[in-house]
Structure 1
Amino acid sequence: MRTMFMTAALFAATSLSTAFASDLRMSWWGSDDRHIATQEALKLCGAKFGHTIAPEFTGFQGHQEKIATQLAGRTEADIMQVNWPWLPLFTKNGDGFADLNQYKDIIDLSQWSKPDLDSGTVKGKLNGISVSTTGRVFMFNKTTYDKAGIPIPKTWEELIAAAPKMKEKLGKEFYPFEGAALDARLMVILRTTQKTGKDLIDPATNKVAWSEAELVEGLEFYKTLVDKGVIESWKQVAAGGNTPLHENQKWAKGQIAGTYQWDSTYGKIATPMEKGQELVPVKLLTIEGAKTDGVYRKPSMLFSISRNSKDPKGAAQVLNCLLNDPAAVKIMGATRGIPSSKIALDTLTKEGKIKPVQIEAYKRVMEPTSPGVSPLNEHPRVTEVFDTNFEAFAYGQQSSKDAATEIIAGINQALTGI
């Protein structure tokens, strides 16, 4: 019933907006809540500057293809919500979108950190502003660790040492951590980045930045976690149906007591935990002599302005209003996650729209150091090559050396010409 009401409201709002001549258009994807909030914020921002803004919204499915078609035909909206990994696809040389640096007298760029601005910059041109920032953070079930009489780990070595103690105290079915598929890949990337001080992909060359020996060590570390009983093996997880963490009964019962997840998923994975259990976000586990914390931090999405907009200054006024104007920020709320803009974050925090524990997880993402993450890390060709060979290694079908060789060669080949 609620969905039907929202759909009807959205149809009415869309019909109303198209009944008037529009001097600007904005496109995005999302849920009903996001659609309604964004339209209301656009009305406020449009009235503030005398603009009429036509909304164009869809679900995520098919949105990339829609944007690609519009960009090819130069029919894209003036303001666009863009997925961060799309930058290498749509603006290889920084010319796919307008350079927002040209509108810094309109957009208050001081509200964003340098890493946030850098993440939306291609070849020196600011092609998109981070709407919200997300990243991987360690979260542990404090209740399970307390029952085992073990402090929450601060280093990888302490995590490994926790396994036999936890099993002895609570039972063999208990694991201090989890990691398979995407979680395992990002865990290997984290530790190897800490060791080398380099991200998987060198942004200067668009090639793998690690040597074969460095990647071998990362893969072998994953095997150590399995062999020491820190995590279930890839095969065990698959045999259990590859159940998502928030649907996993072992997680709900506290038998799996740690994870490395996006900070934005805190509520999703904390909600199914049985009563009395406490999930706490903590600092990144480290290794001795680490060259960087290695945090995997990225924009969850960007707002960009069309390079073909007939009124880019007007689009910049609306963009700044949506992200920095307290009145608009209150309307938008957290429908796009915890905002990257300082003033927006402060506004929503004071309004009580963001829980303290979510702020704590967000801080764990924003405070650590990082060499920067290339959006090519999430290119479909890259993830396919990495995961296929990583899985073969995890199943014992490839040696770590062979897997590393195939991953490096495969990614470099996949990114040739990109």
Structure 2
Amino acid sequence: MNRIKNFFRYILGTSKYIDFPLLLTYIALCLIGLTMVYSASMVPATRGTLTGGIAVSGTYFYMRQLIYVIVGFGIVFFMAYIMDIRILKNRNVQQGMMAVLLLLLFATLVFGSEINGSKSWLNLGFMNLQASELLKVGIILYVPYIIDRKWVQIQQNPKVVYGPLFFVGFIIVLVLFQKDVGQTMLLTAILICIFIYTGIGMKNILRLLSAPFLGLIVGIIIIVVFRINILPAYLTARFSALENPFNYESGIGYHLANSLLAIGNGGLFGRGLGNSVMKLGYLPEPHTDFIFAIICEELGFIGALIVLILIYSIVYRALVMASRTDSYFYKLVCVGIASYIGIQAFVNLGGISGLIPLTGVPLPFISFGGSSMMSLSMAMGLLLLVGKQIKYEEARQRYYEKRR
């Protein structure tokens, strides 16, 4: 009984350092996503259009997403309340994390399942794991750890991090070999954003990033020499349909044209929750890639705007946190998470609206998917953990200033 009381005392004491607006935003997005997954998938699921022709219950995807959300909440709670941030600065933990991710990526290349043209899924029986999703969090932790640990040496000689960065570049090439162009773009963008924020100057940034870029160049050479077709056929076709998808409405522009119709059908207030027409066989993945188009159709411009405000408020909050600390590790972790969520949302929204080619990247917190939900929950737990540490250090500094 005493242990239970002590546990709740610890939770209450820790809560004063938790960024509750950030936590509530995360919960709100997950609940909106859960609702929209059910709305977008209930009819197609019963028709079997999302499960290879096998009809399933209308709650099939909803129940699976509910499990992912519950697991995500558990991850966030553990990281925000229980985890000691010092473990993330442990060399053995960092190396072990990257080693596990490397093994998962190799296992995916050898034993992975190909879905929608990309061999990026590892069947674990109870779920399909996408290791590249977890790699985002790995890079957000590993690169800031290296920069923070070697910051003084980096300012004098950027070459000291060539080894670790070449390793990161090699891992990104493995994702490219899975024909997952969208995730490769995101991982590279996260890496670039972290280095831009370091403030060490563009010349030094180019020197530092030459190592991972060299890895990418080596990968491209291998692709050319062995004639590996790294771009899925569906992706190259989407470039052709980008300019005017309605000219190819019955072919390669079918998905984008219907996505634009769904967005336009919603108007200001939408057709009403559950009343989407385009989810009835017109959009191929209404619960994943095209879920924002369904949001626009059912909830209209107002509903879509609320979702965007919630997503980018997390990005804004992460950047504010980065400006409040002197620790390079905390700063760069916050920037990494902001770039992860912000850029992924932009790529998804740009794809379904015709701004950029469709790449199969899910909308953060909203789209159906276990790997994505776990990765994003880890990122949110990490952001809350860093925010808690920043608040704790600020409170400690105020205490010492009063004692003087």
Q: Work out whether the TM-score is over 0.5.
A: no
TM class, shorter-length: under 0.3
TM norm structure 2: 0.25
Q: Per residue, is there more strand in 1 or in 2?
A: 1
Q: Per residue, is there more helix in 1 or in 2?
A: 2
